[in-house]
């Protein structure tokens, strides 16, 4: 897959320039404070694509209703088909259905509930690194059904979950495996492919739900290589709007009992008025990645274009990651700044997305995040006091981390600026 460049490779500078100037809003300047800044909190908020905004407005501003017949209504209806095609291509999936909701959390939560409540089995396997939207859903449904919840522990050195520690928990009575693709805390990419393959040797029809929220903006998800039953992601972390979670469900999961109107199709997971503008945004996101791919391969095949685009994003981000970790002779990387520690610093960058967890000697993560902001860098602290990160950070053996998350639009010069500011804060 994206391992051709183990240390990454930057996109051509002209392409980066075009992405920054033409494709995204507010890359280096905050319109609110009216100040230049480095926005390195893309695992939290993330940049918006101009095209998603425009695609949404063009469709959403039409007054017509879907399903009412007529030219415009039919056009609005066609958005769902287009989004379904885009997501199937994006995930390399043949069948199944797409689902949208207000958040990715709702989609992942509901998929987990559906499996635990109606698929036979006496236990459910998950991991310590899950976001609460999956972990708490597993715990809630297990309590309700009396199923045993089994939790695989974090490998502190890699910030990942070793496949063996998941596989040893699965047996022929496991009804569901819920596993995250990339940790939003450590940035580690789980080896979901090996996990799924080996677990299905034990339980061939095992249902798997995969939280892909943090991997989708950084790398490929491939249902042929890694066939799971549900993937969920958040549009706002991938160039789209807030208030839009999206997912893909396998046919068999989509047909499990779930909240739906009695006479609605069994595989429809959306209830009430649909939002064609949201579907249009998903297509615009997909087209953006294909557009990047088109700079490197000459083809009309959408999957090839998407794969190439996503690989180029992953490689560019890996080059930024390598630079942030190592720096140069003149500007030390975070690995070499006295008083700074990189948490779960796996030397194999192919197993990491561009999410870096730092701690600072003698300084709280919250104070460090505010010091960064004073110097024009937006990062985010993930700490044990937050219900969204307590279990995960503690499993890494720390009370909290400063999370640094640039994106593929950033440059080596910006990483250098960040490194100089980091050294300044460490020396305070």
Using CB under 6 A as the criterion, which residues of the chain lie in contact with ligand PLP when the complex forms?
Answer: 103-105, 131, 133, 180, 184, 211, 213-214, 234, 245
Let me know: does 142 contact 116? Beta carbons within 8 Å.
yes
Q: Minimum distance between the CB of residue 392 and ligand PLP, rounded to whole angstroms?
A: 9
Q: How far is Cα 67 from Cα 135, in angstroms, rounded to an integer?
A: 37
Residue 218, Cβ density class (10 Å: 0-12 exposed, 13-18 middle, ≥19 buried): buried
Provide the Cα torsion 412, 414, 416, 421; round to 10°: -160
Which residue lies nearer to ligand PLP by CB, 94 or 386? 386
Q: Which is nearer to ligand PLP, 27 or 216 (CB)?
A: 216
User: Which is nearer to ligand PLP, 161 or 423 (by Cβ)?
Assistant: 161
Tell me which residue has tokens 């685009």.
309
By C-alpha distance, which of 386, 387, 384, 380 is closest to 366?
A: 380
Q: How far is the CB of 165 from ligand PLP (least distance, A)?
A: 19
CB of 215 to ligand PLP, least distance (A): 9
- Phi and psi angles of residue 24, each rounded to the nearest 5 degrees, phi first: -115, 155
DSSP label at residue 334: G
Nearer to ligand PLP, 72 or 241 (CB): 241
What's phi and psi for 164, nearest 5 deg?
A: -60, -35
CA dist., res. 383 & res. 246, Å (int): 27
- Please state, in angstroms and as integers, the Cα–Cα distance from residue 291 to each residue in 31, 295, 304, following that order: 27, 7, 11
Closer of 129 and 290 to ligand PLP (Cβ): 129
Q: What's the closest the beta carbon of residue 202 comes to ligand PLP, in angstroms?
A: 26
Residue number, 121 or 245, with CB nearest to ligand PLP? 245
Please tell me the distance from the alpha carbon of residue 212 to that of residue 227, in angstroms, as a whole number: 13
Q: Distance (Å, rounded) from C-alpha 193 to C-alpha 350?
A: 14
Nearest residue (CB) to ligand PLP, 214 versus 359: 214
Give CA 266 to chain center in angstroms: 28
Question: What is the dihedral sign for C-alpha 103, 75, 288, 310?
Answer: positive
**CB 361 to ligand PLP: min, Å:** 27
**Beta pairing partners, 402:** 358, 381
Closest distance to ligand PLP from the beta carbon of 193 (Å): 18
- Comparing CB distances to ligand PLP, the nearer of 245 and 309 is 245
Q: Residue 178 or 250: which CB sits closer to ligand PLP? A: 178
H/E run at residue 222: none
> Within 10 Å of residue 40's Cβ, how many Cβ atoms?
25
Nearer to ligand PLP, 42 or 346 (CB): 42
Give least dist CB 208 to ligand PLP, A. 16
- Interhelix angle 276-293/50-60, nearest 10 degrees: 150
Cβ(218)–Cβ(311) below 8 Å:
no
* Least distance (Å) between residue 44 CB and ligand PLP: 7
Residue 55 C-beta: closest distance to ligand PLP, Å: 19
Instruction: Please return the burial class of 120, using the count of CB atoms within 10 Å of its CB with bins 0-12, 13-18 and 19+.
Output: exposed
> Is the Cβ of residue 66 or residue 155 nearer to ligand PLP in the bound state?
155
Q: Is the Cα torsion angle 338, 343, 349, 353 positive or negative in sign?
A: negative
CB of 133 to ligand PLP, least distance (A): 5
Cα gap 265→320, rounded to integer Å: 46
Smallest distance, Å, CB 369 to ligand PLP? 16
The rounded distance, in Å, linking the Cα atoms of 19 and 264 is 42
């Amino acid at each position: 897959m994206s391992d051709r460049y183990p240390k990454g490779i930057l996109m051509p500078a002209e392409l980066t320039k075009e992405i920054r100037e033409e494709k995204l809003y507010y890359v280096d300047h905050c319109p609110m404070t009216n100040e230049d800044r480095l926005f390195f909190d893309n695992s939290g908020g993330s940049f918006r694509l101009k095209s998603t905004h425009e695609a949404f407005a063009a469709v959403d501003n039409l007054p017509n209703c879907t399903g009412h017949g007529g030219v415009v209504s039919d056009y609005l209806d066609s958005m769902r088909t287009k989004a379904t095609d885009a997501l199937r291509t994006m995930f390399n999936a043949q069948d199944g259905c797409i689902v949208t909701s207000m958040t990715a959390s709702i989609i992942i939560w509901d998929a987990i509930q559906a499996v635990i409540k109606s698929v036979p089995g006496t236990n459910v396997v998950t991991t310590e690194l899950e976001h609460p939207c999956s972990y708490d859903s597993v715990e809630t449904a297990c309590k309700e059904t009396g199923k045993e919840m089994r939790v695989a522990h974090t490998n502190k050195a890699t910030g990942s979950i070793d496949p063996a520690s998941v596989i040893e928990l699965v047996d022929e009575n496991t009804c569901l495996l819920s596993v995250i693709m990339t940790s939003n805390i450590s940035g580690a990419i789980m080896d979901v492919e090996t996990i799924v393959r080996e677990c299905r040797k034990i339980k061939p029809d095992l249902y798997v739900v995969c939280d892909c929220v943090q991997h989708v903006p950084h790398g490929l998800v491939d249902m042929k290589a890694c066939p799971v039953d549900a993937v969920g992601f958040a549009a706002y972390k991938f160039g789209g709007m807030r208030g839009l979670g999206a997912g893909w469900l396998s046919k068999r999961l989509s047909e499990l009992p779930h909240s739906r109107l009695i006479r609605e199709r069994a595989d429809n997971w959306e209830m009430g008025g649909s939002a064609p503008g949201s579907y249009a945004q998903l297509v615009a996101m997909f087209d953006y990645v294909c557009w990047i791919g088109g700079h490197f391969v000459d083809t009309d095949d959408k999957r090839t274009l998407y794969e190439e685009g996503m690989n180029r994003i992953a490689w560019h981000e890996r080059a930024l990651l390598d630079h942030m970790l190592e720096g140069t002779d003149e500007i030390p990387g975070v690995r070499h700044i006295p008083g700074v520690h990189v948490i779960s610093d796996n030397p194999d960058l192919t197993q990491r997305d561009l999410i870096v967890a730092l701690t600072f000697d003698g300084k709280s993560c919250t104070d460090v995040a505010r010091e960064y902001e004073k110097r024009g860098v937006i990062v985010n602290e993930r700490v044990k006091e937050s219900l969204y990160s307590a279990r995960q950070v503690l499993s890494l053996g720390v009370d909290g981390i400063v999370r640094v998350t640039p994106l593929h639009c950033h440059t080596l010069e910006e990483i250098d600026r960040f490194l100089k500011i980091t050294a300044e804060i460490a020396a305070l």
